Amino acid sequence: MFTSQTPIDSPFKAASTALEVVNGINLAGKTIIVTGGYSGLGLEAVRALHAAGAKLIVPTRNMEKAQQNLTDLPNVVIESMDLMDPASIDTFAARFMNTYSKLDILINNAGTMAAPLTRDARGYESQFSTNVLGHFQLTSRLWPVLAATDGARVVMLSSANHRLNASDFFRDPNFEQSPYDPWKAYAKSKGANIMLAKALNHFGRSKGIIAFAVHPGGIIDTGLARHMDMNIAKAFGMVDDEGKAIIDPENGWKTPEQGASTIVWAATSALLDGKGGVYCADCNIEPEVADVEGKPTLKGVSPVVTDPVNSGRLWQLCQQLTGVGLD
């Protein structure tokens, strides 16, 4: 069975920070992978989890930047991996499993947003390749160590910008037939991340693995926003007239420390034991909010992406496009 998208009594709110979430939690002996854990939200999540005593592994495609940003956390292990390169993912996963016998938490955080049209070596659109297919392959390759760990969790980074037309998505996920729109591509990938979390939770249930999708909030001060037009950011109330980030957590605009809180909460909170497969935001489970034509909303989660039939279709699509399945 799938957990209902029903909010729970969480002690944390929209303005909570990642360090506040882990306060009092002891993660000593826990092994955690955070993709993209060397910048933006990933870095703040790594800092909080490290402060709680966890062993952190950060795969990166930019070794120099990762070493520079993690210099004050010398115990964090940095490994090479590129989510758009299937061979690189397999090499990292094999190396990890030759070194570690368990994986307590996998946070699939790395991603790209609204990028110009780029394709990987297979011809797949870069946002779908990175945000979805790369993390699908990584999770699948690491499945044996997740399954060997008591109470393992997988956290998929999504976004409030996840609403999509399912028939359009499954017809042309890589924009091979329709004109490319960077924001539509981003929404497709983030909707797919929610479906992927639900599918992972379904397959992991018998192994004791639970999975979550997370919306961290709108955070302008990260590398993810490098392709964003500041006029768009201003129109949405993310920045002021001088281009400075507006911090208003109750309306979704957060600092990186606040944005990382729901990531860390989904990864560690005992309140979520047995409640996998849900979409979370503001350190809580979000309710379903149906799409209304002409009235887009950034609140709640679309029933399109929580539909287990669509999550199953996505799983089959990912297997087809990557040639990878669960071991």
- Angle value at C-alpha 43, between 181 and 135, nearest 5 degrees: 50
Residue in the structure block whose two tokens are 């920070």? 17
b/e per residue, 183-200, with b = 16+ CB within 10 A? ebbbbbbbbbbbbbbbbb
Coil/strand/helix, residue 210: strand
> Across-strand partners of 279?
213
* DSSP structural state of residue 219: -
Q: How far is CA 124 from CA 85, 91, 132, 200, in A?
A: 11, 21, 11, 22
* DSSP structural state of residue 98: H
Q: In what order do the strands lie in the sheet with 55-60?
A: 77-80, 55-60, 31-34, 105-108, 153-157, 210-215, 279-281, 284-285
| Count of all residues that appear for the chain in the document | 327
Q: Please state the separation of Cα 266 from the chain's center in Å.
A: 11
Yes or no: say if 41 and 107 are a contact pair by the CB < 8 Å rule: no
Catalytic residue among 38, 100, 124, 186: 186
Q: Give the closest residue to 158 by CA, choosing from 130, 134, 194.
A: 194
* DSSP structural state of residue 69: H
> What DSSP string describes 238-253?
SB-TTSPBP-BGGGTB
279 is catalytic: no
* Residues labelled catalytic: 186
